[in-house]
Amino acid sequence: MTSPFKRVGLKLMCEGIGDCLYAIAVIKKLYLRFRGQICFDVFTYHPALFQRCPYVNEAYLIQDKQERHYDNVLKLFEFDKLKHYTMDTYDFISIPLGLGGLSFREKQLEYFPVEEDQAESFDVVLNTSNTWPSRSWPVENWQRLADAMTQKGKTVAVVGKDVQSVDDSMLKHSPALQRCTNLVNQLSLDQTYYTIRKSKLFVSCQNGLSVLSGATDTEIVVLDMSIEWSKRAIYRNEDPHYKVTYVKGDCAAYCCESFRCSLPDNQGLFKCIPSYERVEKVVLGIVGRLQGESRYVF
């Protein structure tokens, strides 16, 4: 029997988990607009992300030859269409499709796990991801922050995964920390999601796991560096500040440089990276607020 729906392929060109999660909201808008007329199949580096996504019919690896059987394949996340770092990621994906910008309500992040929850509970979960110099926090700072938590009797876990990125030509590494539960390279993405969801606080740089955390109701601290936070905002309850705090350094140029700062006065150093003291003040303030301890009011 011939299907009454027209099948359209969506080729999601981005390699990063975070960008794929942002794309789900755009795909949802397509799905709602053409519901009953078109069903969408996704070609992506991460088909598991879409295995239970209700807005997608089938998900394939991006190299799958199944693509050749489609009359219409739309490409999502094309760098030659717009300047990615100058605009909101949702809009970067949606505007070239003719969908316009997404509303705050439409920017709700969603995640659809396949596995059952087997995660442990921790007070604080850290993601120590080390990538570009402009978007990484020194590991010694992560260790000091972890120590500040454990000294207060908090349970702390470190999550992340070491990934060799083809598109970015680098190893994206998440260092383990002493006196913490090390879950780096030990969890699937689903179990990482559950671990973040069960925690009271998640702290990360601006990366894929910070986006994943936006699909939970957990309190979040994002270390906002060379990319303006509003271009990668986490929307929950139609509010980019709902249970999320962005901590910035001392430069507001948002140059999006990766390896060396181009501003002459900065001597190649990224002053956008927040100091340890600034992050500790925010994190301890939130921990105290969650505990109701007035001496750590933020």
Instruction: Specify if 135 maps to a domain.
Output: yes
Nearest to 230 by CA among 41, 85, 118, 98: 85
Cβ count within 10 A of residue 297: 9
Query: Is residue 138 one of the residues assigned to a domain?
Result: yes
Can you tell me the mean pLDDT for 25-34? Answer: 96
Give residue 37's domain range. 6-107
296 pLDDT higher than 60: no
Per-residue tokens: 191: 């179990």
- Residue 113 inside a domain? The answer is no
Indicate whether 191 and 149 sit together in one domain. yes
Q: Write phi, then psi, for 296 (nearest 5 degrees).
A: -115, 30
Based on the fold, state whether residues 137 and 260 are members of the same structural domain.
yes
Domain presence at residue 112: no
Kindly state whether residue 117 falls inside one of the protein's structural domains. Answer: no
* Alpha-carbon dihedral angle through residues 222, 223, 226, 229, given to the nearest 10 degrees: 30
Query: Based on the structure, what is the number of domains in the chain?
Result: 2
**Tokens 């140059």 label which residue?**
255
Does any domain span residue 10? yes
CA 136, CA 274: separation in Å to the nearest integer?
A: 10
**Do residue 100 and residue 131 come from a single domain?**
no
Q: In angstroms, rounded to a whole number, what is the distance separating the alpha carbons of residues 276 and 188?
A: 30
Q: Are residues 244 and 144 in the same domain?
A: yes
Residue 222 and residue 224: Cα distance in Å, rounded? Answer: 6
Summarised one tens digit per residue, pLDDT across range 136-160 is: 999 999 999 999 999 999 999 999 9
Residue 109, pLDDT above cutoff 50: yes
Residues 228 and 264 in one domain: yes
Residues 131 and 160 in one domain: yes
pLDDT of residue 4: 64
pLDDT at residue 31, rounded to an integer: 96
Domain finish residue from 74, 107, 140: 107
CATH number, residue 281: 3.40.50.2000
> What is the model's pTM?
0.92
Q: What is the pLDDT of residue 1?
A: 36
Is the pLDDT confidence value at 68 over 90? no
Q: Residue 202: its pLDDT value, please?
A: 98
Contact 173, 162 (CB under 8 A): yes
Count of CB atoms within 10 A of residue 169's CB?
A: 7
Say if residue 241 is in the same domain as residue 283. yes
Can you give the pLDDT at residue 218? 97
Q: Is residue 190 part of a domain?
A: yes
pLDDT bucket at 54, cuts 50 / 70 / 90: very high
Q: pLDDT value at position 85?
A: 78
Q: Is 164 helix (H, G, I), strand (E, B) or coil?
A: strand
Q: Is 115 within the bounds of a domain?
A: no
pLDDT over threshold 80, residue 298: no
